[in-house]
Structure 1
Amino acid sequence: MIIQDVIDHLETLAPLNYAEDFDNVGLLVGQKTTKLKGILVTLDTTEPVIDEAIEKKCNLVVSFHPIIFKGLKKLNGSTYVERVVIKAIKHDIAIYSMHTALDNAFHGVNDMIFKQLGLTNKRILIPQKDTIKKLSTYVPIEEVSHVREALFLAGAGHIGNYKNCSFNVEGYGTFCGNEESNPTKGNKGETHTERETKLTVIFPKHLESKILNTLFETHSYEEVAYEIITLDNNNQQIGMGIVGELHSPMDEMDFLNYLKKTMKSDCIKHSMLLGKPINKVAILGGSGSFAIQAAKQAGADVFITSDLKYHDFFTAENQILLADIGHYESEQFTKNLLVAHLTKKITNFAVVLSNTNTNPVKYF
């Protein structure tokens, strides 16, 4: 097994296509063709984490946060980022980061908080735009079932909780091949009329190459007519944050105590108590001040996130309870998610959960 094989497994959970534009995700240090020895999973890549990888003979560190976020102009060890990269390269350790690709995944960072709190009725808080594409193609009637099923197997035709979704319209297609053509229907130099089905399916954007390769492999025509457009429809499987509901409403203070205990937070900063029960809960792990308005529009009673500044709490405007549980605390279960995912996919290599606590924030 090589490192690329691990990357392929990770991208079934969180394709990098859905990472935010500002982010730096993927293989940040090392080569995809390197033979795998072991995998260490961590939230952050620090020097102690690299030391742990060396000790446990892991040559791939899967880290949620990217160690290289801004451009590196030198590598002389003057910062912790440079020292980590230097040590990793010196010991042939690769570093792979997922960050906002996993933030936007339906079963990613926020889903872990959702599960820890025992919420129900999950939906995306801020669906990511331009993630759904539509393919339309024209297939001879006797071949359409074969092509359609192949596209379904490749990942097309999924809408929410439904699969194998398509639209089919029968009609007649015409074409005339030139002297260089090799038509599978009709003869070159003659206009041919063929009974065809216009087949339309949707697919997530990260599968475009796979979908097109499947179309070309299964369609009999020498030249396949098709079109792809990007849809404005919201994808309720990809996006920032999650909204869910408690099984039973809770008093505000009871909920905050429950939140503090469940999320192992030493301190929760919160906005003014509103004197109303908590039922609908909005979640966004990591820095989430940008989503306060979305949480209010979703009708959430509380918004759980981190890194809220002084003036952010004013934006609650007596409409919602804001709860800042700490950045590390909001993402702490992410590495458990990654270990569980990789352990199911990879059984013949060690997948190790890092024991290093990388939280840089301490409470007195």
Structure 2
Amino acid sequence: MIIQDVINHLEELAPLAYAESFDNVGLLVGDKNKPLTGVLVTLDTLESVVDEAIDNNCNLIVSFHPIIFKGLKKLNGSNYVERVVLKAIKHDIAIYAIHTALDNCLQGVNDIICKTLNIENKKILLPQQGTIKKLTTYVPQKDADVLRTALFKSGAGNIGNYENCSFNTDGTGTFKGNDDSNPKIGERGEYRQENETQISVTFQKHLERNILKALFESHPYEEVAFEVTTLDNYNQQIGMGMVGELPNEMTTEEFLDFVKQKMNVSFIKHSKLIKTKVKRIAVLGGSGSFAIAAARSANADVFITADLKYHDFFSAEDQIILADIGHYESEQFTKTFLANYLSKKITNFAVVLSTINTNPVKYL
């Protein structure tokens, strides 16, 4: 097994195509073709974490946060980022960051928070746009079933809880091959009219290469006529944050105490407790001030997130309770989730859960 094999499993869970544009995800340090010795999973990659990987004979660190976020203009060990990168290179250790690809994943960071807090009937709080594409192609009617099946097998035609979705219209296609053509139907130089089916299917953008490969391999024509367009539809399977409901209504104080217990936090910064009872809860792990308006629009009673500034709390507008539980605290269970996921996928190599608490924020 090589490092790329682990990356393939990670990107099956959280395709990098759905990471935010500002982010720096993927293989940040190292050679993807190196033989794997072991995997260490962490929330942050610090020097002590690299030492931990060395001690456990792990040559791949899977980190939630990227150690390299901005461009490195020099590499002389003058700060913690450079020292981490230098040590990893010296010991031939690769570093992979998953960050907002997992934030936007349906089974990712925010789903972990929802499960920890027993939140049900979950849906994405801020669905992504521009991540659904549509393929339209034209095929002889007698070959339509074969082509549709190939497209479905490659991942096309999935819409929410439904699969094998397509729209089909029968019509007449025309063509005439030039002297360099090698038509599968008719002869070069011959004007043809062919009974064809127009097939339209939607797909997730990270599957485009697979979809087009299936199209070209299964289509009978020498030249395949097709169109790929990006839709403006919101993707209900991809996006930031989640919103759902508690199994039973709780008083505000009971719920905040419940959050402290379940999320292992010592205190919560919050806005005015304008509601006596709460049931509908929005969550967004990490810095979530940008989603306050969306949480209000979703009629959430409470929005659980982190890194709220003084003026952010005014944005509650006496319509919602904002609860800042801390950045590390909101994402702390992510590394356990990733370690468990990889352990099920990789049974013949060690997947080590880092024991280092990388939270830089301390409390008295």
Superposition TM-score, scaled by structure 1 size: 0.99
Distance 2:337 2:155 in 1: 23
Query: Which residue of 2 is the match for residue 56 of structure 1?
Result: 56
Q: 1:212 aligns to what SS in structure 2?
A: helix
Q: Deviations over 1:89-112 (max 9, x none)?
A: 000000000111111111100000
Query: What letter matches 1:295 in structure 2?
Result: A
Distance 1:335 1:109 in 2: 10
After TM superposition, give the deviation of residue 78 of structure 1 in Å.
1.0
Query: Which residue of 2 is the match for residue 210 of structure 1?
Result: 210
Q: 2:355 aligns to what SS in structure 1?
A: coil
Q: 1:69 aligns to what SS in structure 2?
A: coil
After TM superposition, give the deviation of residue 347 of structure 1 in Å.
1.1
Query: Which residue of 2 is the match for residue 174 of structure 1?
Result: 174
Query: Which residue of 2 is the match for residue 358 of structure 1?
Result: 358
Structure 2's unaligned 5+ residue stretches are none
Distance 1:291 1:98 in 2: 21
Query: What letter matches 2:88 in structure 1?
Result: A
Query: Which residue of 2 is the match for residue 258 of structure 1?
Result: 258
Distance 2:53 2:33 in 1: 19
Superposition TM-score, scaled by structure 2 size: 0.99
Query: Which residue of 1 is the match for residue 119 of structure 2?
Result: 119
After TM superposition, give the deviation of residue 125 of structure 1 in Å.
0.3
After TM superposition, give the deviation of residue 171 of structure 1 in Å.
1.1
C-alpha RMSD of matched pairs (Å): 0.7
Q: Deviations over 1:235-261 (max 9, x none)?
A: 100000000100011100000000000
Distance 2:351 2:141 in 1: 49
After TM superposition, give the deviation of residue 189 of structure 1 in Å.
0.3
Q: Deviations over 1:274-320 (max 9, x none)?
A: 13311110000000001000000010000000000111111111100
Distance 1:339 1:192 in 2: 58
Query: Which residue of 2 is the match for residue 339 of structure 1?
Result: 339
Structure 1's unaligned 5+ residue stretches are none
Does 146-155 or 284-293 show the bigger shift? 146-155
Query: What letter matches 1:64 in structure 2?
Result: F
Distance 1:237 1:352 in 2: 30
Query: Which residue of 1 is the match for residue 40 of structure 2?
Result: 40
Distance 2:263 2:100 in 1: 21
Query: What letter matches 1:66 in structure 2?
Result: P
Distance 1:340 1:146 in 2: 38
Query: Which residue of 2 is the match for residue 141 of structure 1?
Result: 141
Percentage identity across aligned positions? 67
Distance 1:308 1:80 in 2: 26
Query: Which residue of 1 is the match for residue 321 of structure 2?
Result: 321
Q: 1:192 aligns to what SS in structure 2?
A: strand
* Contact 2:275/2:301, CA 8 A, preserved across alignment: no
Distance 1:347 1:153 in 2: 27
Query: Which residue of 2 is the match for residue 20 of structure 1?
Result: 20
Q: Deviations over 1:22-63 (max 9, x none)?
A: 111110000111111100000000011000000000000000
Query: What letter matches 2:331 in structure 1?
Result: E
Q: Deviations over 1:56-95 (max 9, x none)?
A: 0000000000000011111111101011000000000000
Distance 1:129 1:12 in 2: 20
Q: 1:240 aligns to what SS in structure 2?
A: strand
Distance 1:341 1:175 in 2: 51
Distance 1:129 1:341 in 2: 27
Q: 1:52 aligns to what SS in structure 2?
A: helix
In the alignment, structure 1 residue 275 sits paired with structure 2 residue 279: no
Query: Which residue of 1 is the match for residue 242 of structure 2?
Result: 242
1:91-170 paired onto structure 2 within 5 Å = 91-170=91-170
After TM superposition, give the deviation of residue 344 of structure 1 in Å.
1.8
Query: Which residue of 1 is the match for residue 290 of structure 2?
Result: 290
Distance 1:276 1:58 in 2: 50
